[in-house]
Structure 1
Amino acid sequence: MLVEKNLPLQPFNSFGIAARALRLARIGSEAELQALIRHPDWSADQTFVLGGGSNIVLTGDVRQLVLKVEIPGRRLLRETERGWLVEAGAGERWHDFVAWTLQQGWPGLENLALIPGTVGASPVQNIGAYGVECQDRFDSLDAIDLETGEAFSLNAAQCGFGYRDSVFKHERAADGRGFGLKGRALITRVRFLLPKPWKPVLGYLDLERKMAELGLVDPGAQQIFDMVCAIRRAKLPDPALIGNAGSFFKNPSVTPEQCADIIARDPKVVHYPMPDGSIKLAAGWLIDACGWKGKTVGHAGVYDKQALVLVNRGDAEHPCTGGEVMTLARAIQTSVYERFGIRLEPEPVVL
């Protein structure tokens, strides 16, 4: 296998941060990865798995061996009374996969349209939007143990899904207990069960407003897909034009009592009741309320149409650095904590 050296990573991260990989291997199949693992110089502890690069902030050159996941493939495994079981290679672009399922007549992923990144990253982050999360349609995945080279599969329960969370974001305990797989596995293929009968998920205000605007009462899956794309394009910058990593902070959850206290001080706070009794607050609203929308620190800024998104305001001569992004992020965290007593948690992986 070819290992490229001193390779620029700017094209491989959606924020457009200038950094380099000292070594990079493109993984196009399970066999290629297993052959690499058998090399005598292999060290699982010295690797970094890179998918679409849409959820990372690079704060310097990457000294680990970068494993660029490029495994292709889309197929229907079977159709039953329960639904369509579809599989995609980890290197497939997520949005393209969603569009493809609809083109085949298999609805269920339409609310997750236009989310950047690859299929392999979707369970890691448990991506979600407009009332649907990856775990709601997830069936199982295949992965390879980076220490042994052995292939294994996980079902939904074994993935330990939570809000923007999974077993792939947690490290195994020092005593060897637990099932954390952070840095220990590379996902190769993911399967989704798209349920029958299909039911639209429309419980978000933005979708309700879009339906009213278009005069829709009972939209189909393709119409929901089109609405989600239109909403996201209106609110979020295209990484091809303005570098960004999408939503930079997780929406925090608070108790009803905490929410009531915030509402007493800020009645317009955007909040959503959750099934477990907690209240989810809109992080973008909290950031905007602190006056950050449109502000810039160095060459990193807050998007002027959506305060939840941090953007690259640098250029070829003066590129934005990961350090500038994190300086801005920490300043925002401090402002929100001082005003609301809430600590915002970043979504991207900081490397």
Structure 2
Amino acid sequence: MGGYTLIENAPLVARNTMRVAARAKLLAEIRDATKLPELLDFPAIRNGRLFVLGEGSNILLTGDVDGTVLAMETRGVHVEQDGDVARIAVAAGERWDDFVRWTLGQGFAGLENLILIPGTVGAAPIQNIGAYGTEVAEFIESVEAWDLVERKVVTLDHGACAFAYRDSLFKRNPNRFIVTAVRFALPRSHALRLDYAGIREELERMGVEKPAPFHVAEAVVHLRTRKLPDPAVIGNAGSFFKNPIVAAAQGEALKREHAELVAWPGANARWKLSAAWLIEAAGFKGMREGDAGISNRHALVLVNHGKASGQELWAFAQRVIEGVQARFGVRLEPEPMIVGG
């Protein structure tokens, strides 16, 4: 069929970076976004559950998917130059890391701190991906999506996307929108973010005195490679737990009790706490039950050492959440989507 392929009882183990051996009742691989209305009108798809999948780097499958998994495999990058700003429309199926590297090669700035994050461009606004002091929302001008309720293509500007920390309108309405393209506004020149998680120290190790965006990207690659386990080697979805945000009074009380606590006072009398510090201090870093565990390299990373099921991984994650809450009175939340059977 033109523009898409349908596969029944499709294995998903190679389509999620946690390497969970789940299956989909129906897998629809779509290569042409204009074919979405036709595809979604199939009775088997229209009357059942629909789940959109990118590279599967931000999900935990806790069972088989009794419905249709829609894999966005669209491609395309279109650039319009507007003075010192490039407006770039990118198809949802493009790989995020490939796009970041392309922007750096073109001399555009802004996304350098977000290099080496797995996943697709279409997934980036849903999660409002962020790393090393940068969130993607800062550079998103608009998002094009298929609205499943209105049954039409819609373009949502930056404000309508309602971006927040690891959150967006799309994440809060998972059954409403299918992201088909993202439009970025990237400058030629942008103030570099160097004050987060060892970037300056890494640049010094590299012998760089006057960093450019590509230097920052290289430093981030070094840092991520050292800290985070490779999904190709051991199943994981990167950072599994969000950094919790608490009232300033609670943050201050915790800091008085635990002087080593890593925390960042923020706006609106709120503090962001380091989930990694909380997990490690609660004794979970490197812990393992069967094939489910927490990485010994980074306490934020839930790992599949072999053939752990999604239910086993989720049960272990809940044990971590409950352990941190019992120790510090702070409840962690998962960063990936938890997709049940």
1:259 aligned partner: 251
Q: CA RMSD in A?
A: 1.4
CA–CA distance in structure 2, aligned partners of residues 44 and 108 of structure 1: 42
1:329 alignment partner, one of 302, 317, 321: 317
| AA partner of residue 320 (structure 1) | A
So what's the TM-score if we normalise by structure 2? 0.95
1:175 aligned partner: none
| AA partner of residue 217 (structure 1) | E
So what's the TM-score if we normalise by structure 1? 0.92
1:239 alignment partner, one of 221, 231, 247: 231
2:81 alignment partner, one of 61, 79, 82: 79
2:59 aligned partner: 56
Asked whether the equivalents of residues 108 and 189 of structure 2 are also in contact (C-alpha less than 8 Å), the reply is no
**1:197 matched to 2:189:** yes
2:179 aligned partner: 187
**1:46 matched to 2:49:** yes
More displaced stretch, 255-264 vs 240-249: 255-264
Asked whether the equivalents of residues 90 and 187 of structure 1 are also in contact (C-alpha less than 8 Å), the reply is yes
CA–CA distance in structure 2, aligned partners of residues 158 and 150 of structure 1: 17
1:178 aligned partner: none
Asked whether the equivalents of residues 253 and 278 of structure 1 are also in contact (C-alpha less than 8 Å), the reply is yes
| AA partner of residue 4 (structure 1) | I
Distance 1:236 1:44, change over 3 A: farther
| AA partner of residue 276 (structure 2) | G
Post-superposition Cα deviations, 1:287-318, rounded to whole Å, max 9, x if no partner, equal 0001111111221111001010011111xxxx
2:15 aligned partner: 12
**1:278 matched to 2:270:** yes
CA–CA distance in structure 1, aligned partners of residues 296 and 91 of structure 2: 36
Post-superposition Cα deviations, 1:119-141, rounded to whole Å, max 9, x if no partner, equal 00000000001111011111111
Asked whether the equivalents of residues 8 and 18 of structure 1 are also in contact (C-alpha less than 8 Å), the reply is yes
CA–CA distance in structure 1, aligned partners of residues 84 and 144 of structure 2: 22
Distance 1:332 1:302, change over 3 A: same
* SS state at 2:198 partner: helix
* SS state at 1:66 partner: strand
More displaced stretch, 114-123 vs 44-53: 44-53
| Structure 2 unaligned blocks of 5 or more | none
Asked whether the equivalents of residues 333 and 343 of structure 1 are also in contact (C-alpha less than 8 Å), the reply is yes
CA–CA distance in structure 2, aligned partners of residues 39 and 18 of structure 1: 27
Asked whether the equivalents of residues 45 and 67 of structure 2 are also in contact (C-alpha less than 8 Å), the reply is no
CA–CA distance in structure 2, aligned partners of residues 326 and 40 of structure 1: 33
CA–CA distance in structure 1, aligned partners of residues 193 and 97 of structure 2: 18
Distance 1:233 1:219, change over 3 A: same
**1:293 matched to 2:285:** yes
**1:313 matched to 2:305:** yes
Distance 1:268 1:207, change over 3 A: same
Taking the TM superposition and a 5 Å limit, the aligned residue runs for 1:75-154 are: 75-76=78-79, 78-81=80-83, 83-154=85-156
User: Number of residue pairs matched?
Assistant: 336
CA–CA distance in structure 2, aligned partners of residues 274 and 44 of structure 1: 45
Asked whether the equivalents of residues 43 and 147 of structure 1 are also in contact (C-alpha less than 8 Å), the reply is no
| AA partner of residue 238 (structure 1) | D
**1:346 matched to 2:334:** yes
Post-superposition Cα deviations, 1:243-268, rounded to whole Å, max 9, x if no partner, equal 10110010001222211211122110
Taking the TM superposition and a 5 Å limit, the aligned residue runs for 1:160-171 are: 160-170=162-172
Asked whether the equivalents of residues 6 and 22 of structure 1 are also in contact (C-alpha less than 8 Å), the reply is yes
Asked whether the equivalents of residues 37 and 148 of structure 1 are also in contact (C-alpha less than 8 Å), the reply is no
Asked whether the equivalents of residues 18 and 231 of structure 2 are also in contact (C-alpha less than 8 Å), the reply is yes
Post-superposition Cα deviations, 1:180-238, rounded to whole Å, max 9, x if no partner, equal x3211111110111125322111213112212322333310000010111100100011
2:210 aligned partner: 218
